[in-house]
Amino acid sequence: MKKERTKYVCQSCGYTSPKWMGKCSECGAWNAFIEEKIQPVSRQRAGTSQVVPKSVLLDEIQDPKFARIKTGTEEFDRVLGGGIVVGSVILVGGAPGIGKSTLLLQVCSLIASQGKNVLYISGEESLQQIKIRSDRLSIHSDRLRLLAETDLESIASVFRQEKPDFCVVDSIQTVYASQMESLPGNVSQVRICGYTLSVVAKEEQIPVFLVGHVTKEGSIAGPRVLEHLVDGLLILEGDEQHAYRLLRAVKNRFGSTNEVGLFEMTDKGIIEVTQPSEYLLSQRHGEASGTVVTVSLEGTRPLLVEVQALVSPTSYGMPQRTSTGIEHRRLALLLAVLEKRVGLKFGTQDVFINAAGGLRLTEPAVDLAVTVAVASSLKDRPIDPQTAMVGEVGLSGEVRGVSQIERRIAEVERLGFNRLVLPDIGLKALRNKTRLELVGVHTVREAVQKLI
C-alpha cells in the first residue's frame, strides 16, 4: 500500500515545509505548522496543451470602462475609487469589534435601497443576531436577503442561482471546502475558498466583499496569497478609546491606494465624517503649552491634526519616551535632533507625544510640529492657537520641503487659521495667493526661536 505524502504548512504566512518545525523560518511564528496531505497533480508537460493562447498588442486593447455601483456614502466610495466595480472582489480587514460587519450591513442596506438585490452571507452569526443588529441600525429592506452558511459549494451554488447585484461573505475564515480535510480557517481552506469565490464572482459579474480576520500584528490572518487573489484590500482602523474609524485602501486595482475615509461609530451605526479636519479639531484647547496643529496628507486629503506633547521631570532612573499616533523611533530621532542642534536637554525628562483623535501620523511632514510641541512643553510656553505648521526635519536640523504644499495651505486657510510655518523652499514653489501669513524656516533652531 502506497503511503500518503504529507506536508506542513504555516498558518501564519503559508510557508511549506517537508517536516514539522517549532518556529517558522519565514515569519517567526511558534507552533503554527499543521499537517496536510499532498494532493496528486497531473504530470502533463508544460506547453503540451492543444489550445495555444495568442498574444495581443497593447495598442489593440480598448480602454476599459468599469461599471460601478454607488453606495451613497461619499467616504466609502472615495476609498474604492468612485464606487464598487461590478465583478470585483474586495477583502475587508480590521480588529475584532471595530465595526466591519456593521459598516458592510449598512452598505448592503444603501445598495438595496437603490432597487438592487443584495445577499449577506454570515458564517459567524445566526440570522437572528443579524436581525437584532439591523433593528438597532433601523435597517428594513425587501431587497436584502440573508443566508447563514459556511459550506463553499453551497455558497457558490447560491451565487450562480440567485445572481445578486452585491454580496458580502462574513467571514472568509469560516467558509470551508468539504473536499479538504483540514479545519476551517487553515491555510489550505482559506486559499481554496478565496480562489473559488473569486472565480465565481468574475464569472457571474457579482461584486463580492469578503471579511477577513486580522492577527495581533494587524495583518490579515491566513496565507498572504489571499491578499493577492482579491482586487482590493480595505483596512478599517481605530481603537476602543475613540469613536472614529479610518477606512484605508491598502490595495486597489480599480483606483488609488492613497484615499482614506473617516467614519464615526455611534449607537445608530457608523456615519461618515465629511469634514474630518473640523471634527479632529473640535475639542482643541489651544491655550496650553505643548499643543501644535499640523497638516497631514492622508492620500490626497489634507487633515488638520493637533499634536500634543508633555515634557516633565522623570520620577525614575530611566526617562520615559511614550508616543501615541507617532512612530516611536521617529520620536527618538527628533529628540536627538533637538538635543544636538537646538541645545535642549531631555536626559532627565519624560516625554509623551499624542496625536489627538487617535490618528496614526506616518508622514514625515509632521516632524516640525512634533519638535516645536516638545520644545513648547519643555519651556512651558504656549504656541499661538491660530498657527499651524508643516515640514520634515532632517538629521542636521534642517527643515525639508513637503509635497502638495498648496493643498495644505488651502485647508489651513479654510479652517480660519492666520499663520502657517513651512519650509523656506515651499515658499518658492507657491503659485496661488493666500491671506495666510506664511513664515518660512530653514532649520529647527530657527523655528523654535521664532515661535517660542
Note the pLDDT tens digit of each residue in 19-71.
888 888 888 888 878 777 766 655 555 555 567 888 999 888 887 778 899 99
Each residue of 343-369: pLDDT tens digit?
999 999 999 999 987 788 989 999 999
pLDDT at 274: 82
Cell numbers linked to 327:
512612530
pLDDT at 1: 45
**C-alpha to C-alpha distance for 170 and 111, rounded to whole angstroms:** 17
Residue 29 C-alpha from the chain's centroid: 23
Residue ranges of the chain with per-residue pLDDT less than 70: 1-4, 38-50, 215-225, 239-242, 286
**C-alpha to C-alpha distance for 227 and 248, rounded to whole angstroms:** 15
pLDDT at 8: 82
The pTM for the full model equals 0.76
Residue 36: how many CB atoms within 10 A of its CB? 18
Amino acid identity, residue 448? V
pLDDT at 196: 94
Cell numbers linked to 343:
541645545
Question: Cβ distance 236 to 245 under 8 Å?
Answer: yes
Amino acid identity, residue 412? V
pLDDT at 69: 94
Q: What interhelical angle do 444-451 and 367-379 show, nearest 10?
A: 50
**Which of 257, 233, 212 shows the shortest CA–CA distance to 98?**
212
pLDDT at 15: 79
pLDDT at 283: 75
pLDDT at 296: 92
